[in-house]
Amino acid sequence: MDFSSQGSINEEMICCICQQLLTEPMSLHCGHNFCQLCIAATESESFFGGQCRCPVCQSTYDPWHLMPNKELDNIVKKIREVNMWSHQQQRSDLCEQHGLCEQQGLCEQHGLCEQQGLCEQHGLCEQHGLCEQHGLCEQHGLCEQHGENCHLFCKEDGKAICSLCVQEHPGHQISLMEEVVKECQEKLEAALDRLTQEQQEVEELEAVINEERATWKTERERIWKGFDEMRDILDREKQMELQKLREDEVHVLDNLAVANDQVVQQRQSMREFISYLQHHMCESSIDMLQDMINTFKRSEVWTLKKPKIVSKKLKSTLRFPDLPWMLQVFKELAEAQSYWGKKLQVLQIAMF
């Protein structure tokens, strides 16, 4: 099939020698492409002084510097595959004149099916959303411009194209639609797996944070409960000690009252005796000497009778907790609060 007169195929895909689609294309430094067999056949004719000339621009090149154009070869192969598939589809039960399927009840002249509501001029089915100009169904991936099936995909433009659109995407990476779909599905599956794993890690991290929060709450409740219990114990001890103190106070105060009466009586007797001695000393010598023996005997015999009173130390002593131990407990509680606070803050930062 000669492609030299068709503008639907990119010139880069046509061999300048045989005017056919390139077969194993080879590229020259001047930018022209040829079939491997075609350029090899012309080298013997254009060989001069160890170099050959390009059949198009006559620029010289070294035969050893011919480079296979893999990218162009892949595009040409895909075009051949698409053309072959399209040709097989067109030959399937199509009429010779219009390429219409006789099995679908289409008329011989225009290929129009009046029973399906097709337009008399273009054979278009309005119910199926056919293109007004070409009678093509956009829902089935047909090219709007050329009416061909879009079996190719341009990765640079991100667009599905047909074999005739290739010339509008020069130098672009073009692949078969099936390959692109497969590649896209693989990438989507990989992304889905990665995101699923990330979601699982996020859920695990969230569970850790909730667990840490619950631990913090439990620790706070434990501290409150401990101090409440300590307060209850102190209240009970307080009431018990006060009750003991009241009982001891009654007994001690009674004893103190008795002792006070005794002391008062002795004080009065002491004052009276001192007054007697002072008066006796003021008497005459004869009077003082007459009663001297009785006075000395009375002063020697008289002694202070000390009543029995309570000791300066209380019988019941309230035992308060050891102050250093209490300070150590409060220090440990403060350190625990600081530790859990910092850890919760780190987890919240890692989460968000």
Whole-angstrom distance, CA of residue 146 vs CA of residue 127: 22
Domain boundary among 89, 117, 145: 89
331-342 average pLDDT score: 71
Cα 39 to Cα 22, 23, 75, 159, 351, distances in angstroms: 11, 11, 20, 34, 65
Instruction: Tell me how many helices (H) and strands (E) the chain has.
Output: 6, 8
Whole-angstrom distance, CA of residue 33 vs CA of residue 51: 17
275-295 average pLDDT score: 74
40 in a structural domain: yes
pLDDT tens, position by position, 122-157: 343 333 333 343 333 344 468 888 777 888 888 888
> Which domain does 293 fall in, by range?
199-320
Helix (H, G, I), strand (E, B) or coil at 40: helix
Select the more confidently predicted residue: 47 or 62. Answer: 62
- Among residues 212, 163, 253, the alpha carbon closest in space to that of 344 is found at 212
73 in a structural domain: yes
pLDDT-based confidence at residue 121 (cuts at 50, 70, 90) = very low
Select the more confidently predicted residue: 294 or 70. Answer: 70
Domain boundary among 70, 89, 108: 89
Q: 168-179: string of b/e by CB count within 10 Å (b at 16+)?
A: ebeeeebbbbee
Residues 33 and 15 sit within 8 Å (Cβ to Cβ): yes
274 in a structural domain: yes
pLDDT at residue 50, as a whole number: 62
Q: How far is CA 321 from the centre of its chain?
A: 49
Which tokens in the block code for residue 39? Answer: 């350029």
What's the total number of domains in the chain? 2
105 in a structural domain: no
17-21 average pLDDT score: 83
pLDDT at residue 44, as a whole number: 65
171-191 average pLDDT score: 88
Whole-angstrom distance, CA of residue 62 vs CA of residue 28: 9
Select the more confidently predicted residue: 93 or 22. Answer: 22
Which tokens in the block code for residue 67? Answer: 């480079």
* Minimum mean pLDDT range among 17-21, 74-78, 109-113: 109-113
Mean pLDDT of the chain: 72
